[in-house]
Amino acid sequence: MKHTLTIGITDCSKYDNYKAWILAADASINIIKLSYQLNNLDLLASCDGIILSGGEDVFPTFYGKPEYLDILDTNQMDEKRDDFELKVIEQSLQAGKPILGICRGLQIANVYFGGTLVPDIPTVIGSELHNKIEGKDQRHQVELVEGSLINTITGQQHGTINSAHHQSAQQIGEGLVVTGYADNNIVEAIEWKDPASKPWLLLVQWHPERISDDEYFSLAIREAFLASC
């Protein structure tokens, strides 16, 4: 009898986009919304894989940069969400569950492993290529490291992705390696430095759930994630 997959997706304002993206692959998949508001960390045990969704900035005290509070909007943060999702990551790794991190998901995972974040790309790096314009995603090039997981999944070394973020990974967390870059060296993909005997992990800065007609940078990622689950 075929096992019905259960995928946990962390809650965010655009949660339904992630849910629809997964169900478009297989409508029989069971989706669990993981949220501190629902206080349902216990349901993680029944999940075959986890998607860390996008959304608010990570509270900078979680990566040792409280001074960033002076330049960031605390209305765009949620400490309780950060704390909850750090526990999701910890327990998922302990249980060997596959993790796909998307946008903020990449950032909170990098923070979990001891990494830091660029607080504001336009201010620190001087690039306006990554944040939304009039509410719409931008598009830009990405370069992938040959032989990496993301390169193997997509079959591509470069391509065009969507972009809707003003923060990015800076110092990379312990045990991780950058395998995708934008033209200005902004981090676009992170994975294990040495994946041997570790659960499946892929972190991407773009939004594959919003380019669901893209064969390489959306559909192939979804397929690989679900296969790992």
Annotated catalytic residues are 103, 207, 209
Give CA 29 to chain center in angstroms.
Answer: 20
Residue 69 phi/psi, 5-degree rounding, is -60, -25
How many other CB atoms are there within 10 angstroms of residue 146's CB atom?
A: 9
The residue behind tokens 């892929």 is 202
Strands of 46-175 (E only): list them.
Answer: 49-52, 99-102, 117-118, 138-144, 158-163, 168-169
**Alpha-carbon gap, residue 188 to 160, rounded angstroms:** 12
**Alpha-carbon gap, residue 81 to 77, rounded angstroms:** 9
What is the DSSP secondary structure assignment for residue 81, as one 8-state letter?
H
Please choose, from the candidates 69, 135, 142, 78, the residue with its C-alpha nearest in 3D space to the C-alpha of residue 104: 78
Cβ-based neighbours of 143, under 8 Å, separated by 6 or more: 157, 158, 180, 181, 182, 183
